[in-house]
Amino acid sequence: MKKLTEEFIRMFGKSDRQIRFFAAPGRVNLIGEHIDYCGGYVFPAALTLDNVVAVRENGTSKMNMCATDLARVYTADLSDIDKAKELKWGNYQAGMAKELLEAGINVRGVDMLYDSTLPFGAGLSSSASIEVVTGYALASLFANEMPNRIEIALMGKRCENNFVGVNCGIMDQFASAMGKKDCAILLNCDTLEYEYVPLDLGDYVLILANTNVKHKLGSSKYNERRQEVEKGLSYIHTAAPDDKRPYLCNYTVEDYLKYDEYITDDIIRKRVKHVIYENERVLHATKVLKQGDLVSFGQILCEANDSIRYLYEVTGIELDTLFDLAMEEEGCIGSRMTGAGFGGCTVNIVHKDKIESFKKNVGGKYTERTGLQADFYICRIGDGVREVSVNN
C-alpha cells in the first residue's frame, strides 16, 4: 500500500488522520446466468482482481473521490447526496453513502483514492466491487455497529437499482462481499441461503477470455430482459391462478412443461425456458462438481451457454466467436459467457498443459474473425471484501 499512500498524499495532502485501506473483488459466475433476479440459484466465485480504496476522514461534509487512472477529483456533498447522480464518476460511491445514511450510519466527509486491477466493463463486476468496497470502508469508519457483509451486499444492490438505475440482482455484490478463497458460492437468490463449494480443478485452470467489447445498449437490454421475465411470470400466474409463486425460479421444469403452452408470446416463452432450466442446471452442475466429475461440469457449462445464447439472447458475435473457438481447442472441457453479456468475458476450463496453445489459437483466430484483440487472465479465486493492512 506504500505506493497508494504516496499517491493519496500527493492528491489530498498530509494530515494527522489515519489512512485506511480496503479491498473488494470482482467475480466470475460459473453458472446460473440471468436468474438471480428470478429467485434462482447462482454459482459465482470472487476473483483476486479487485478494487482497493485508500480512505481518510477529511472533517467536511464532502466525499472527494479519485482513482489512480483518473486525472481529476470528483466530489459528492453528503448534505445533498442525490445531486451526485449526475457525476460522470463517483455516483456508485455516492449511492452507497446514501444507503449507509439511510441505515442510520453517520457518514462524514472523506477523501478516497481507488486503485483497480479489475478490467472495467468486462462483465467481471467492477461496479459491484466499487459499491461493496465503498460501503464496507465507510461503515468501518463511521458505523457504531458494523453491518454484516450480506447487509453491505444488499445495500450495493439497492444502490445500483435506485441510484445508478440498473435493475440488477444480488449475485455480484454478494460474491464481492462474501467470496472465499478457492471456493465458489452456491447462492439461493430467493432466500439468500448459501454454501461454499471448494473449486478443486485438479489439472485444470479457469481462463477468462475478454472480448474487449461492451455493447452500448447493454444496460437497457438488461432491463428489457427483466421486464420479459416479469411478463413470463404473469403468463404463468394467469395459467395457474391457484399456484402463484413470487419468482419464476420457484417453478420447476415439470411446471414449465405444464404451463408453457399458455405462454403465447414466442420470445417470452424462450426467456422463461432459459430461466427455469438454468436453475436446475446450476444444481446439477454443483452436484457433479462435488463428485469430482469435471468433464460433466464442463459439459453443463456448455449447455448453459447454448441456452443463454439461443433462448435468452444476450451474447453477441464476439462472445459467440470466443465460445466457438474455445470448443475447437484440445484440453478445453467447458466454456461459457459469464455475467450480463452483450460483450464481456467467457470463462473456460482448460488443461494446465494447454494454457499457452489455448491463448494463442483462440486469440489469433478471434482477431482474424472480428478484428479485435482478446485478453486472457488465469482466474484465481480469492476472498471477499476486507480491510488491508498498510504494510501490504
- Which chain residues interact with ligand GLA by CB under 6 A? 29, 33-34, 36-37, 125, 168-169, 171-172, 339-340
Measured from the CB atom, the residue of 183 and 275 that comes closer to ligand GLA is 275
Q: Please, are residues 289 and 197 in contact by the beta-carbon 8 Å criterion? A: yes
Smallest separation, CB 169 to ligand GLA (Å) = 3
Smallest separation, CB 351 to ligand GLA (Å) = 27
Q: Give the max Cα distance, the chain.
A: 69
What are the angstrom distances between the C-alpha of 214 and each of 47, 108, 123, 306, 380?
Answer: 20, 35, 8, 20, 23
Smallest separation, CB 205 to ligand GLA (Å) = 23
Smallest separation, CB 187 to ligand GLA (Å) = 11
Q: Please, are residues 175 and 184 in contact by the beta-carbon 8 Å criterion? A: no
Pairwise CA distance, residues 297 & 335, whole Å: 10
Is residue 172 part of the annotated active site? The answer reads: yes
Smallest separation, CB 275 to ligand GLA (Å) = 11
Which of 36, 80, 172, 190 does the annotation list as catalytic? 172
Smallest separation, CB 193 to ligand GLA (Å) = 17
Helix (H, G, I), strand (E, B) or coil at 124: coil
Residue 379 makes CB contacts below 8 A (sequence gap 6+) with 28, 45, 47, 205, 206, 207, 208, 347
Measured from the CB atom, the residue of 171 and 236 that comes closer to ligand GLA is 171
Q: Long-range contacts for 284-292 (Cβ within 8 Å, ≥24 apart)?
A: 285/30, 285/31, 285/43, 286/43, 286/186, 286/197, 289/197, 289/199, 290/197, 292/200
Measured from the CB atom, the residue of 58 and 338 that comes closer to ligand GLA is 338
Measured from the CB atom, the residue of 46 and 168 that comes closer to ligand GLA is 168
Pairwise CA distance, residues 171 & 247, whole Å: 16
The one-letter amino acid code at 173 reads Q
Quote the cell numbers at residue 189: 437468490
Measured from the CB atom, the residue of 64 and 348 that comes closer to ligand GLA is 348
Measured from the CB atom, the residue of 183 and 314 that comes closer to ligand GLA is 314
Count the neighbouring beta carbons within 10 Å of the beta carbon of residue 14. 7
Residue 391 makes CB contacts below 8 A (sequence gap 6+) with 1
Q: Which residues are catalytically annotated?
A: 172
